């Protein structure tokens, strides 16, 4: 049973920058399902992709960069094993509480599982990958470090392998920013968050999460080598990209 996210439901004097600490890790599965639109559909897309991108291997290597509590790797593992393949799963997260949750969730999963508590900027991606997933993580990396990081991701992929990137985004037209933001907050209200919770979390995230526009995101992806990239999903201010090496 998921713990309910009530981190911001009381007035906080001096809201601190958001961090993925133990309190967040304990409620993260509820938080992400209520805060990220169509979260389950992103996983459905990833699962569907396994029918097409692992046709030439029975032992696919998958990285999840910013693996949080391990939900994505768990779902991918189950599907790949159903296909008669034996995956190698490598989850990496900057947050120790998140990495611990992922280890607990993936305990007993078939295939080789490695969960690493490491800084994504300095971690080594030494095993050539068939798939790299990065869901809502790049947005927390400093903007001036993203290009070098994505270049590292590109180098880690096998030729023809796939990178799936999901991010919160800024609209191309600044005139649409307030409307799209309000529509997103309506979504959060439908999922039970109060005005106070929405306001305080927005303040906590303001200095640590820096979304890009889709055009800027695709420009950066191209600059590091991903010439075959495009948006495959968008919901207001959230988007997913399919990138092939």
How is residue 34 written in tokens? 């209520």
How does residue 2 score in pLDDT terms, banded at 50, 70 and 90? Answer: confident
- The dihedral over CA atoms of 56, 60, 65, 68, expressed in degrees to the nearest 10, equals 130
- Per the listing, tokens 């971690």 go with 123
Supply φ then ψ for residue 146, to 5 degrees.
-70, -40
> What pLDDT is attached to residue 21?
97
Q: Across all residues in the chain, what is the average pLDDT?
A: 96
Supply φ then ψ for residue 240, to 5 degrees.
-125, 145
Instruction: Tell me the per-residue pLDDT of 119-134, one tens digit each, with 9 for 90 and over.
Output: 999 999 999 999 999 9
Instruction: Tell me the per-residue pLDDT of 5-45, one tens digit each, with 9 for 90 and over.
Output: 999 999 999 999 999 999 999 999 999 999 999 999 999 99
The CATH number of the domain covering residues in 22-244: 3.40.50.150
Instruction: Tell me the per-residue pLDDT of 183-212, one tens digit each, with 9 for 90 and over.
Output: 999 999 999 999 999 999 999 999 999 999
Per-residue DSSP letters for the chain? -PPP--TTSS--SSPPPP---HHHHHHHHHHHHHHSTTHHHHHHHHHHHHHHH-TT-SS-EEEEET-TTSHHHHHHHHHHHHTT---EEEEEES-HHHHHHHHHHHTT-SSEEEEEE--TTT----S-EEEEEEES-GGGS-HHHHHHHHHHHHHHEEEEEEEEEEEEB--SSGGGHHHHHHHHHHHHHHTT--HHHHHHHHHHHTTT---B-HHHHHHHHHHTT--EEEEEEEETTEEEEEEE-
* For range 147-165, the mean pLDDT: 98
How is residue 66 written in tokens? 């910013």
Q: What is the pTM of this model?
A: 0.96
**How far apart, in whole angstroms, are the C-alpha atoms of residue 120 and residue 221?**
17
* For range 134-147, the mean pLDDT: 97
**How far apart, in whole angstroms, are the C-alpha atoms of residue 54 and residue 50?**
6
Rounded percentage of the chain residues whose pLDDT exceeds 90: 97
Q: Is the pLDDT of residue 111 over 90?
A: no
**How far apart, in whole angstroms, are the C-alpha atoms of residue 74 and residue 96?**
18
Q: Is the pLDDT of residue 110 over 80?
A: no
Q: Is the pLDDT of residue 238 over 90?
A: yes
- Residue 139, CB-side half-sphere exposure with 13 Å CA sphere: 22
Q: Is 11 exposed, middle or buried (0-12, 13-18, 19+ CB in 10 A)?
A: exposed
How does residue 107 score in pLDDT terms, banded at 50, 70 and 90? Answer: confident
> What pLDDT is attached to residue 28?
97
Rounded percentage of the chain residues whose pLDDT exceeds 70: 99
């Amino acid at each position: 049973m998921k713990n309910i996210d009530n981190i911001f439901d009381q007035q906080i004097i001096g809201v601190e920058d958001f961090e993925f600490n133990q309190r967040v890790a304990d409620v993260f599965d509820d938080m992400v399902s209520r805060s990220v639109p169509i979260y389950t559909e992103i996983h459905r897309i990833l699962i569907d992709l396994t029918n097409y991108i692992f046709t030439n291997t029975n032992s696919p290597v998958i990285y999840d960069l910013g693996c949080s509590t391990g939900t994505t790797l768990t779902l991918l593992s189950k599907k790949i094993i159903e296909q008669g393949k034996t995956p190698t799963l490598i989850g990496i997260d900057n947050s120790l509480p998140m990495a611990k949750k992922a280890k607990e969730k993936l305990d007993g999963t078939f295939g080789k599982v490695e969960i690493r508590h490491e800084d994504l900027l300095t971690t080594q991606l030494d095993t050539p990958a068939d798939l790299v997933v990065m869901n809502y993580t790049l947005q927390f990396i400093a903007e001036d470090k993203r290009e070098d990081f994505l270049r590292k991701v590109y180098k880690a992929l096998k030729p023809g392998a796939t990178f799936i990137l999901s991010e919160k985004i800024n609209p191309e037209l600044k005139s649409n920013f307030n409307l799209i933001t309000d529509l997103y907050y309506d979504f959060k209200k439908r999922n039970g968050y109060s005005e106070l919770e929405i306001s305080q979390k927005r303040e906590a995230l303001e200095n640590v999460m820096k979304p890009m526009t889709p055009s800027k995101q695709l420009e950066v992806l191209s600059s590091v080598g991903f010439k075959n990239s495009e948006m495959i999903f968008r919901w207001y201010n959230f988007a997913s990209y399919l990138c092939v090496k």
